[in-house]
Structure 1
Amino acid sequence: MGLIGEVLMLPFAPVRGSLWAVRQVVTEAERQYYDPAAIRAELAQLEKRLEAGEIDDEEFDRLEDELLDRLEIGLRPRAGTDNGTIR
């Protein structure tokens, strides 16, 4: 974009900065949500809840399936990364 374009877009700079910040927050939230270590900890906690009788087998199976789906997604290599590791 040339100098004139930059000058014309200057009033929108705060919006562009806000959008960048929102993208960063969403990216970090997704990273934490799909973090394999966090999911494994949740699976362990879920098993403890089953053993303690807090949940029944049906609810355990449903929640376990959800966590395993998240784990599978979290372990997939992502575009723009090397072997699934974030640069």
Structure 2
Amino acid sequence: MGLVGTILTLPFAPVRGVGWVVDKVRQVAEDEYYDPGPIQEELVKLEQARIEGQVDENEFTRREEELLHRLEEISAYRLQQQREAES
């Protein structure tokens, strides 16, 4: 974009800036939501609670299935992101 184009689009700079900030916030939120670390930590805590008798087998199984499903969701999302990046 040349000097004239820059001058003509200057009034829209705040809008572009807000768009950039919104995109960065969305990106950070997605990175946190699709981080497998907290899910893996929760699985370890759940196993420890089962060993210590704080959680019965039914509750353990139900919660473990939820967490493993969440890990599958994260894996699928990351695979999709990787494919999109390669395209």
Q: TM-score, normalised by structure 1?
A: 0.61
Q: Which runs of 5+ in 2 are unaligned?
A: none
Q: 2:67 aligns with which of 45, 51, 64?
A: 64
Tell me, yes or no, if structure 1 residue 2 matches structure 2 residue 2.
yes
Tell me, yes or no, if structure 1 residue 36 matches structure 2 residue 39.
no
Deviation, structure 1 residue 12: 0.6
Deviations 1:23-47 (A, max 9, x none): 1111111111111212212334555
> Is the 2:39–2:67 Cα contact (8 Å) retained in structure 1?
no
Q: TM-score, normalised by structure 2?
A: 0.61
Q: Which runs of 5+ in 1 are unaligned?
A: 81-87
Q: Find the aligned partners of 1:4 and 1:39 in 2 and give their Cα distance.
A: 52
- AA at the equivalent of 2:7: V
Higher helix share: 2
- What's the Cα RMSD here? 3.0
Specify which structure has the bigger relative contact order, considering alpha-carbon pairs within 8 angstroms and separated by 6 or more residues: 2
> Is the 1:35–1:74 Cα contact (8 Å) retained in structure 2?
no
Q: Which residue of 1 aligns with 2:26?
A: 26
* Rg larger for: 2
Q: Find the aligned partners of 1:70 and 1:33 in 2 and give their Cα distance.
A: 11
Deviation, structure 1 residue 16: 0.3
